[in-house]
Each structure stands twice: as structure tokens, then as C-alpha cells.
């Protein structure tokens, strides 16, 4: 598993935490809209639930069993899948034929006699308007709604899962009326099923009757063809398939005999070739004994035995006597006599083999001719047997079809007479005791949830179209401007609605407060916004009046002076000067007098004495006398010379100028200053105004180092990533008796 670098993991956690805080901030900031929307929706749901007419629901239960159609010749011809069959029956319950049959019941028809009667299932306003518009513009002809159509609007058919049961549900303001309608529709469906089955059975009985007659004629024709063929061929043995065929048996016997004769003829031929030399006198008679047919001859076997005994006696005599001994001579004569007799016997056996061979050859030829004839007889018999059995199978098939039709006719005849059906009403509807709607608890819960969701959506909708800057994150993300920090709402102890003087000199009197710490944070970021020693002149402005630029300029000047800097705060807002009011100084003479009269500006600088302001390092140059052309004065050579002199004499010079969006007085100051700070009022300043002011300042090559968000409410900060700092300072400085609540802004 790949591990993310520590930096990337922290960025991901910070992003998630920032999104969560923004979400919570939107909820808090738009709580009034969310609460109002949720309350209105919840109230509408509850009022509608309590004012709605109670609706009751009655339910009748039908049993629909699957049976194969009685009218089919075979069960597989018209089979339907189980699911399709039940879906068809469910749709059939709400068809026109069934509903019109239900309206034949006077109790049901009474409820639909009046077309203007209350119908709880009547479509709502939007659906009615859409229907009328579609009817008018689509050319749909206008016609009155039929009673069966209004009845169908009241019915809801629901199959019970994994069963053959179907519920017929009807809703209405009257529980008895709902029960009567549900029972009426269920009974009408059962009656319709019986009637449809009877009608179908009657039609099918007539069709089967016609098929029976046609099948009977076909069966008779098949039987006649079989009988005629059997009589023509004259083969009574074909009547029974189990009887043997004599022609086939004879052919089998001839084949066996022919094979035996052929084998015997071959054997005799081999023996005749072996004794042919004996008959010609070319071979010894003893060599002929190797032939099995000769060796098995009785005479030959007897003489061979006598010859063997004489040879044994001759050998015994030679062992006792000499060769010319009379006894040996007599035995030799007997041996020759027996050998001659053996020759004669072998010759007789050989001639007998030749004669038998000739006879077997003639017999083989005779059997071959007879076998050929018998093969033709068997083939003719087989053809006749094949045609016979084919005709016999046709008779059997026609017989089975005829029997099936007769059996179906019995079943259909029973159905059309008794009205048997596989659909039945197993549970009648009863008047319900409690309504199914409105569900007041569910309506209240749904109203609360939906109201809350709509309220949150409305809050985000308002926040999305809210173009004002609220948090430091908005400064960086929405207007793409560096954020130098923010200033919270400065507390006021005098109770004055304006409280400008107290807020402008707040850091001068409350050095250790949390708000003063925010100004010190802004001071630090200003230091790091430029190169060391280059950020000596600051131009402070805002898009519109009342954004708090003078308050920031005064408090920032005090904060810089406490950092051992010689600071000159110049009130360059010649149209509405208020810096002198913040510190209780005189308004004239001042900057305008310097620029108009050409007097030395150092004579008009007013120091702020005291240990709280950095030992007299803070000096104020008020705006001076009013002038009819402030823009020309601020763009004059005298102003440029003053800015150069002040820059050389002081560590930091702060110019509090007029708002950008209304006058052009800022152009010279912005172009000459080392940096410009834009002051934005939280929740009031719009992004478009800031972007417009930014374009105006950039047009004169002004260097905007960042923006400061003023009068930020702690409630807004609770959803921002900077919110953790403000409570920390409040808790830390609260031990020293400092407060942190109030409002205002200049």
C-alpha cells in the first residue's frame, strides 16, 4: 500500500476540515432561512395530514391456480410459463369486461351512478392540468368518463409474492363502500372466469367433434389400406410382428450349409494336392500319412499299427540273431507284405478324397445358385414386410389420435356442463376499522425531514448567490487576493451607535486585548509583504464608504509605533476626513493647507504623546481645510514632494484615502506608495466591487499587497479555518478583564 507524504496527508486533512467548517458555517449563517423553510414545510405537512379525509382500504383475496387448457390436443401445444399466466390474470381483473360485469351488481353500481361523486383516487391538480393540456393541444376528443373507468381508478391489484394468491384492494372514505366494491370486483372476476371457460369449452367441444369425424375417416382409410395390402401380398405371417419368417430361416440354413461345403472342399483340395505324388508313384507311401484325411482312415490306421509292431519285432530279433537268420528273414517278409498292403490302403483313401472333392465342388456350385435365388426371395419379403409395418404404424397412430380426441371430448363436455374454474374467492373483504391514510406520524416525520433538507438546500442556494465577502478564505478563493488577516467586531463601552472614535483608537487604549493582537498580526504580514526596508509608505483604501479603512489605518499606525517605528499617519481623505476625530486632534490646518498654501508640512504634524503609543513615535497629519478639487491636489507636484520628504523622515508613512469606487483621489497615492491595503467589510463588500476597485488600482500600476477583512462576526468565524485563533485570544485576555463583543465600522 502506497503511503502519502506527510505534507500531502496534512493538506488533505486540512482541506477536509476546511470544507466541514464551511458547511457548518453555512448552516449557522443561514440558520434563519433553514429554520423558516423547515417550519413552513413541516407545518404544511402536518396541517394537510390533520385536515385530510381519512381513507380506508378493503382487500379481497383471490386464488388463481395454474391449469393446462382443456381445449388442447396435447398439453405442450398451448403451455404458458407460470409467471406470464399470473400476470395475464392480474391484468384481466381490471379489464373492461370484468369491471362492467361488476357494475351489474346494484350495490356496486350505486357508488358510480353519479359522475360528480367524491373520488378519493381522483388525480391531483398538476396531473389534471397536464391531462387537459394534452387533450386540448393533442387533439384528444373530449368524452365523459365511463363508470367502469372510474371503477378501475379505485382498484389496485397486487399479487402475493411466491404464491398463487392475488389481493384486490379498494380505497375510499367509506369503509363499507370499499369492502362492497372489492368483493364485487372479485366475484365478477370469478363469474367472468366461469363464463369464459364455459364458452371456450363449448366452442372447443364443437371443434373436437369436427376433428373426431375427420380422424375417424382417416383411421378407417388406414385400416382399409392395411387389409388390402395384406390380402394382395398373401403373407399371413406379417400379421404378427413376433412370428418368424421362413424365407429368412431358409436363407440362414443355406448360408451355413454353403459355408460348410466350401470349407470341406478347400480341405479336400489341400489333401488331394498332398497325395497326388503318391498316386503317380513319385512319393513314398509313408509321406502320404502326413495328410490328416488319409491318416484318419481306419484301414490305414490298422496297417500302420501292424507295421509298427513288426518293426519292433525285427529290431528285437536282430538283437538276438544275425541278419540271415530264418526268424529275422520271416519278419522281413511280413514287413514287406504289410507295407504293400498299407500302400494299397493309402491309394484307396487318396482316390476316395479325389472323388469326395469333386462331389463337394458340385455341391458348392448348386448351393451358390440356390442361395442366390433365396436372397431374392428374402429381399422381396423384406420389402413387403416394411410396407406392411409402415401401414400398420399409420393405423396405430390414427388410433391413438382418435382415442385422445375422444378423451378430450369427455373432459370438455364435463367442463361446459358444470362450469369448472381454477379461480376462486378465498377471502372476502370486510369493512376496515382503521384508515390507511393519512398517516399523521409519518407525515410529521416526512415533513420534518423534507423541510430540513429543503432548508439546507435553500441555505446553500442563498449562500451560492451571495456575492459578499465573509471570511478570510473568501478573500483568497473568491477574489484571488492575498489575505493580510481580519479584524473582529471591536467592542464599544460607551453605548454609542457609531462608536467610531473608540474603535479607531482601540489599540491605543487596549494594548493587551485580543483585537489588538489581530492588528499586530496584520502588522507582521505587512512587514513580510515586501523587501526589508522597502515597505515604508502604505496606502489604505476600500471599495466603498463604511468598510473600516480609517479604523484600520489608525490602529495599524498605533501598532507600528509600539514596534519602535516612527510613524506618520496622513489623513488623505480630503472629502470626509475623520482621523483627527479618532485621536481628539484639531482638523485644521493640515494636508490641504500644505498643498494649497505651500506651508511647511512639519508645522502641521500633531504628535500623539504617552507611553502607550511608543514614546511619541506616532504623528498625525490631519486633512486640513476642505477643498473643491481633492483629486488635483493629491496629484500635484507638492503632494509628490511631500510624499518623498515624509518617506525620508519617517520609518512608515500611512495614507488613509477615500474609497476607490466613488472618486479618483486614490490614483496618485496608489501609484506612489510602496503598497496598497484593501479594507473589506465582512458580509457587506461584494466581490464585484472588490474586483472593480482592483482593476482601477492596477490601471495606475498600484501595488496591492493584500486585503484586510474588517468587522468579522465571531458567528461567521465559527465556520472558517481562522476561527480557532479568536476564541483563544478571547479566553487568554479575558483573564485580564478584556471584553470582545460589539459592532460598528468606518
Task: Give the residue with greater pLDDT, 224 vs 652.
Answer: 652
- Indicate the DSSP class of residue 437: B
Lowest mean pLDDT among 100-114, 270-284, 414-428, 600-614: 270-284
pLDDT band, residue 170 (cuts 50/70/90): very high
Residue 723 has pLDDT above 70, yes or no: no
The H-or-E segment that residue 113 falls in is: none
* Selection from 550, 641, 656, 660 nearest residue 601 by Cα: 641
Residue 353 has pLDDT above 60, yes or no: yes
Output Rg (C-alpha) for the chain, integer angstroms.
64
**Mind listing the pLDDT tens digit for each residue in 125-164?**
455 666 666 666 665 555 677 888 888 888 999 988 888 8
Residue 216 has pLDDT above 70, yes or no: yes
pLDDT band, residue 212 (cuts 50/70/90): confident
Task: Give the residue with greater pLDDT, 281 vs 106.
Answer: 106
- Helix, strand, coil % (nearest 5) of the chain? 60, 10, 30
Q: What 3-state class would DSSP assign to 160?
A: coil
Percent of the chain past pLDDT 70, that is, above it, reads 75
Please compute the mean of the pLDDT values over residues 705-724 and round it to a whole number. Answer: 69
Residue 655 has pLDDT above 90, yes or no: yes
The pLDDT assigned to 7 comes to 46
Task: Give the residue with greater pLDDT, 543 vs 615.
Answer: 543
The pLDDT assigned to 540 comes to 92
Q: What 3-state class would DSSP assign to 675?
A: strand
The H-or-E segment that residue 38 falls in is: helix 31-51
Residue 311 has pLDDT above 90, yes or no: no
pLDDT band, residue 653 (cuts 50/70/90): very high
Q: How far, in Å, CA of 390 to CA of 397, rounded?
A: 11
Residue 722 has pLDDT above 50, yes or no: no
Task: Give the residue with greater pLDDT, 480 vs 81.
Answer: 480
Lowest mean pLDDT among 94-98, 404-408, 613-617: 613-617
The pLDDT assigned to 490 comes to 79
Q: How far, in Å, CA of 278 to CA of 276, rounded?
A: 5
Distances (CA, A) of 423 to 61, 63, 93, 198, 687: 11, 6, 11, 13, 74
The pLDDT assigned to 79 comes to 46
The pLDDT assigned to 729 comes to 46
pLDDT band, residue 507 (cuts 50/70/90): confident
The count of C-alpha atoms lying within 13 angstroms of the C-alpha of 142, restricted to the half-sphere facing its C-beta, is: 4
Please compute the mean of the pLDDT values over residues 101-110 and round it to a whole number. Answer: 87
Residue 371 has pLDDT above 80, yes or no: no
The pLDDT assigned to 532 comes to 58
Structural contact between residues 623 and 577, judged by C-beta atoms closer than 8 angstroms: yes
pTM: 0.50
The angle at the Cα of 127, spanning 122 to 129, to the nearest 5 degrees, equals 110
Q: What 3-state class would DSSP assign to 646?
A: helix
**Mind listing the pLDDT tens digit for each residue in 250-273?**
767 777 777 777 776 676 666 666
The pLDDT assigned to 444 comes to 86
Q: What 3-state class would DSSP assign to 439?
A: coil
The pLDDT assigned to 381 comes to 73
Q: How far, in Å, CA of 611 to CA of 562, rounded?
A: 9
The residues facing 64 across adjacent strands are 423
Backbone phi, psi, residue 493, to 5°: -100, -10
* Chain CA centroid to CA 415, Å: 49
Q: 546: phi > 0 → left, psi -120 to 50 → alpha, else beta; which?
A: left
**Mind listing the pLDDT tens digit for each residue in 54-90?**
888 899 999 888 664 444 444 443 445 677 888 888 8
**Mind listing the pLDDT tens digit for each residue in 546-595?**
888 899 999 999 999 888 889 999 998 888 888 888 888 888 888 888 88
**Mind listing the pLDDT tens digit for each residue in 387-422?**
777 878 888 888 888 788 887 777 766 555 555 567
* Chain CA centroid to CA 465, Å: 35
Backbone phi, psi, residue 486, to 5°: -145, 160
Domains of the chain: 26-52+438-465 (no CATH), 246-382 (no CATH), 472-734 (3.40.50.300)
pLDDT band, residue 349 (cuts 50/70/90): confident
Q: How far, in Å, CA of 65 to CA of 69, rounded?
A: 12
Whats the size of the chain, residue-wise? Answer: 746
The angle at the Cα of 586, spanning 580 to 587, to the nearest 5 degrees, equals 65
**C-alpha cell of 16?**
477536509
The pLDDT assigned to 167 comes to 93
Structural contact between residues 574 and 627, judged by C-beta atoms closer than 8 angstroms: yes
Residue 210 has pLDDT above 60, yes or no: yes
* Omega within 30 of 0 (cis) for the link into 573: no
Backbone phi, psi, residue 160, to 5°: -80, 125
The pLDDT assigned to 1 comes to 43
Task: Give the residue with greater pLDDT, 609 vs 667.
Answer: 667
Distances (CA, A) of 47 to 43, 50, 444, 615: 6, 5, 9, 71
Q: What 3-state class would DSSP assign to 303?
A: helix
Residue 290 has pLDDT above 70, yes or no: no
Q: How far, in Å, CA of 539 to CA of 503, rounded?
A: 20
Structural contact between residues 689 and 656, judged by C-beta atoms closer than 8 angstroms: no
pLDDT band, residue 489 (cuts 50/70/90): confident
> Which of 130-139, 333-342, 716-725 is the most confident on average?
333-342
Q: String of b and e for 623-638 (b: at least 16 CB within 10 Å)?
A: bbeebeebbebbbeeb
Q: What 3-state class would DSSP assign to 243?
A: coil
* Selection from 426, 421, 428 nearest residue 165 by Cα: 426
Please compute the mean of the pLDDT values over residues 620-642 and round it to a whole number. Answer: 86
Task: Give the residue with greater pLDDT, 472 vs 493.
Answer: 472
The pLDDT assigned to 127 comes to 57
DSSP character string of 629-658:
-HHHHHTSHHHHHHHHHHHHH-SEEEEE--
Average pLDDT, the chain: 77
Backbone phi, psi, residue 456, to 5°: -65, -40
Give the distance between the most distant pair of CA atoms in the chain: 200
The pLDDT assigned to 654 comes to 93
Amino acid at each position: 500500500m502506497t503511503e502519502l507524504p506527510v505534507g500531502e496527508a496534512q493538506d488533505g486533512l486540512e482541506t477536509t476540515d476546511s470544507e466541514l467548517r464551511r458547511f457548518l458555517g453555512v448552516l449557522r449563517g443561514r440558520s434563519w432561512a433553514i429554520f423558516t423553510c423547515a417550519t413552513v414545510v413541516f407545518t404544511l405537512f402536518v396541517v394537510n395530514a390533520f385536515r385530510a379525509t381519512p381513507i380506508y382500504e378493503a382487500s379481497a383475496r383471490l386464488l388463481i391456480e395454474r391449469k393446462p387448457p382443456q381445449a388442447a390436443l396435447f398439453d405442450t401445444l398451448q403451455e404458458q410459463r407460470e409467471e406470464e399466466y399470473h400476470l395475464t390474470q392480474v391484468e384481466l381483473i381490471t379489464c373492461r369486461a370484468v369491471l362492467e360485469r361488476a357494475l351489474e351488481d346494484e350495490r356496486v353500481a350505486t357508488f358510480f351512478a353519479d359522475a360528480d361523486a367524491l373520488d378519493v383516487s381522483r388525480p391531483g391538480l398538476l396531473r389534471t392540468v397536464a391531462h387537459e393540456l394534452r387533450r386540448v393541444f393533442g387533439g384528444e376528443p373530449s368524452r365523459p368518463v365511463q363508470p367502469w373507468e372510474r371503477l378501475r381508478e379505485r382498484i389496485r391489484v397486487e399479487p402475493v409474492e411466491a404464491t398463487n394468491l392475488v389481493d384486490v384492494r379498494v380505497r375510499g372514505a367509506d369503509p363499507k363502500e370499499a369492502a362492497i366494491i372489492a368483493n364485487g370486483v372479485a366475484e365478477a372476476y370469478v363469474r367472468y372466469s366461469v363464463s369464459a371457460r364455459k364458452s371456450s369449452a363449448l366452442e372447443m367441444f364443437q371443434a373436437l367433434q369436427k376433428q373426431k369425424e375427420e380422424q375417424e375417416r382417416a383411421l378407417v382409410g388406414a385400416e382399409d389400406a392395411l387389409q388390402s395390402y395384406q390380402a394382395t401380398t398373401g403373407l399371413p405371417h406379417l400379421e404378427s410382428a413376433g412370428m418368424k419368417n421362413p424365407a429368412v430361416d431358409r436363407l440362414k440354413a443355406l448360408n451355413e450349409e454353403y459355408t460348410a461345403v466350401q470349407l470341406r472342399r478347400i480341405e479336400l483340395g489341400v489333401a488331394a494336392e498332398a497325395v497326388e505324388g503318391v498316386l503317380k508313384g513319385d512319393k513314398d507311401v509313408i509321406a502320404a500319412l502326413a495328410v490328416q484325411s488319409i491318416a484318419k482312415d481306419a484301414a490305414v490306421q490298422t496297417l500302420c499299427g501292424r507295421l509298427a509292431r513288426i518293426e519292433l519285432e525285427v529290431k528285437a530279433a536282430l538283437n538276438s540273431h544275425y541278419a540271415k537268420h530264418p526268424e529275422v528273414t520271416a519278419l522281413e517278409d511280413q514287413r514287406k507284405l504289410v507295407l504293400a498292403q498299407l500302400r494299397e490302403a493309402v491309394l484307396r483313401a487318396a482316390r476316395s478324397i479325389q472323388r469326395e472333392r469333386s462331389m463337394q465342388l458340385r455341391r458348392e456350385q448348386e448351393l451358390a445358385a440356390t442361395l442366390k435365388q433365396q436372397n431374392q426371395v428374402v429381399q422381396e419379403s423384406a420389402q413387403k414386410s416394411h410396407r406392411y409395418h409402415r401401414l400398420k404404424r399409420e393405423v396405430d397412430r390414427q388410433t391413438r389420435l382418435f382415442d385422445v380426441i375422444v378423451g378430450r371430448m369427455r373432459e370438455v363436455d364435463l367442463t361446459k356442463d358444470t362450469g369448472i374454474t381454477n379461480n376462486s374467492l378465498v377471502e372476502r373483504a370486510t369493512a376496515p376499522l382503521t384508515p390507511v391514510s393519512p398517516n399523521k406520524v409519518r407525515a410529521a416525520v416526512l415533513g420534518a425531514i423534507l423541510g430540513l433538507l429543503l432548508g439546507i438546500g435553500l441555505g446553500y442556494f442563498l449562500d451560492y448567490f451571495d456575492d459578499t465577502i465573509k471570511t478570510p478564505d473568501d478573500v483568497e478563493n473568491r477574489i484571488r487576493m492575498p489575505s493580510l488577516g481580519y479584524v473582529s467586531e471591536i467592542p464599544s463601552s460607551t453605548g454609542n451607535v457609531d462608536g467610531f472614535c473608540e474603535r479607531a483608537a482601540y489599540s491605543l487604549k487596549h494594548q493587551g486585548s485580543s483585537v489588538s493582537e489581530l492588528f499586530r498580526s496584520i502588522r507582521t504580514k505587512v512587514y513580510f509583504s515586501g523587501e526589508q526596508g522597502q515597505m515604508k509608505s502604505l496606502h489604505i483604501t476600500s471599495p466603498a464608504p463604511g468598510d473600516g479603512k480609517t479604523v484600520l489605518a489608525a490602529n495599524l499606525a498605533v501598532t507600528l509605533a509600539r514596534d519602535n517605528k516612527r510613524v506618520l499617519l496622513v489623513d488623505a481623505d480630503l472629502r470626509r476626513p475623520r482621523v483627527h476625530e479618532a485621536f481628539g486632534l484639531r482638523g485644521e490646518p493640515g494636508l490641504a493647507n500644505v498643498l494649497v498654501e505651500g506651508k511647511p508640512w512639519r508645522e502641521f504634524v500633531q504628535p500623539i504623546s504617552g507611553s502607550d503609543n511608543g514614546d511619541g513615535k506616532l504623528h498625525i497629519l490631519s486633512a486640513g481645510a476642505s477643498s473643491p478639487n481633492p483629486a488635483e491636489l493629491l496629484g500635484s507636484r507638492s503632494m509628490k514632494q511631500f510624499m518623498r520628504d515624509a518617506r525620508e523622515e519617517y520609518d512608515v508613512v500611512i495614507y488613509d484615502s477615500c474609497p476607490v469606487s466613488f472618486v479618483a483621489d486614490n490614483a496618485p497615492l496608489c501609484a506612489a506608495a510602496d503598497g496598497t491595503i484593501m479594507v473589506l467589510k465582512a458580509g457587506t463588500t461584494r466581490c464585484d466591487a472588490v474586483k472593480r476597485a482592483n482593476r482601477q488600482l492596477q490601471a495606475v500600476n498600484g501595488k496591492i499587497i493584500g486585503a484586510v477583512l474588517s468587522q468579522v462576526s465571531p458567528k461567521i468565524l465559527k465556520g472558517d479555518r481562522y476561527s480557532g485563533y479568536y476564541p483563544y485570544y478571547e479566553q487568554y485576555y479575558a483573564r485580564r478583564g478584556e471584553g470582545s463583543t460589539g459592532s460598528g465600522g468606518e
